[in-house]
Amino acid sequence: MNILAIDTSSNSCSVAIQYQGEIKTSCQIAPMQQAQLILPMINELLNHFDIKLEHLNAIAFACGPGSFTGLRIAASVAQGLAYAASLPVVPISSMAALAQSVYLEKQCQDVLITLDARTDQIYWSIYQAKAGYMVLLGEEGVCKPEGVILSSCSPQHVIGDAWTKYHARLIKSLGYSPQFIQSLTIPTAKSVLFLSEQKLKAHNWVSAFDAMPIYLR
Model confidence, pTM: 0.94
Task: Say if residues 159 and 106 touch (Cβ distance below 8 Å).
Answer: no
**Residue ranges of the domains in the chain?**
3-94+187-210, 95-180
Q: Domain 3-94+187-210: state its class.
A: alpha beta
Evaluate whether 3-94+187-210 and 95-180 have a shared fold. Answer: yes
Task: Say if residues 58 and 178 touch (Cβ distance below 8 Å).
Answer: no
Task: Say if residues 102 and 108 touch (Cβ distance below 8 Å).
Answer: yes
DSSP strand pairing (12-19 vs 22-29): antiparallel
In terms of Cα–Cα distance, which of 2, 99, 89 is closest to 51? 2
pLDDT level of residue 205 (50, 70, 90 thresholds): very high
Q: What is the pLDDT of residues 140-185, one digit of tens each?
A: 999 999 999 887 789 999 999 999 899 999 999 999 999 998 766 6
Q: Which CATH superfamily does the domain covering 95-180 fall into?
A: ATPase, nucleotide binding domain (3.30.420.40)
Q: What is the pLDDT of residues 80-124, one digit of tens each?
A: 999 999 999 999 999 999 999 899 888 989 999 999 999 999 999
